[in-house]
Amino acid sequence: MERKIKNIIFDYGRVLVDYSTKYLYDSVFADKQEMQWFIDHVVNAEFHTTLDLGYPTQEVIEEWKRRFPKYTRELELYDTDYLRLVGEEMPGMHQLLTDLHEEGFQLYGLTNWGHKFWLVYKKYSIFQLLDGQVVSGEEHVVKPDPKIFNILLNRYGLNPEESIFTDDRAENVEGAQQLGIHGIVFQNAEQLREEIGKLVRGC
């Protein structure tokens, strides 16, 4: 019997590689309450979404420096020390992708990430296990907008019903499911392996 699930699509941040603004700023702020305020109000969701939509990093930082001149130095670090935001590959994920590839699945990436992503791409070998990817900063649209899912599906000729998408954010998984893609909210590699197995067996 032909297997119905053929494609596994992965988010990147906190799924393939660990990522947190605290990794960069924990050693910058002596006052941890001030650091949390900075993360919540300065390098916040609006800041990251603007970058993820593909606006040039330096232009965005210059705009935020005008809004928050007190934090000029901290904002500049987001550009000059960017790789400090990214930790290691998520535990178990390199092996999981290797196993899935050996089992015959096609593996793809779909990430909300700006132009700085390519620094990360060069550093981590896990991305070389993928058969293709779509990066929001190049497409100027972010998850969970259905447009970015359709870009991936159309570019690689994927059938939604033959595909699984995993992301650590439930709203992004729901966006995929609305297009008929099977969805898994990521927790860890062991949980993902188990959930993929259930979906493969159940389809």
Q: What is the pLDDT of residue 34?
A: 98
Mention every residue, 6+ apart, whose C-beta is less than 8 A from residue 82.
Answer: 24, 116, 119
Mention every residue, 6+ apart, whose C-beta is less than 8 A from residue 32.
Answer: 26
Cα angle value 49/23/25 (rounded, 5°)? 80
Backbone angles phi, psi at 79, to 5 degrees: -90, -50
96: which 2 tokens?
């999981």
Specify the pTM: 0.96
Distance CA(174)–CA(12), nearest Å, equals 17
Q: What is the pLDDT of residue 28?
A: 97
**Ranges in the chain, pLDDT < 50:** none
Q: What is the pLDDT of residue 202?
A: 86
Q: What is the pLDDT of residue 1?
A: 53
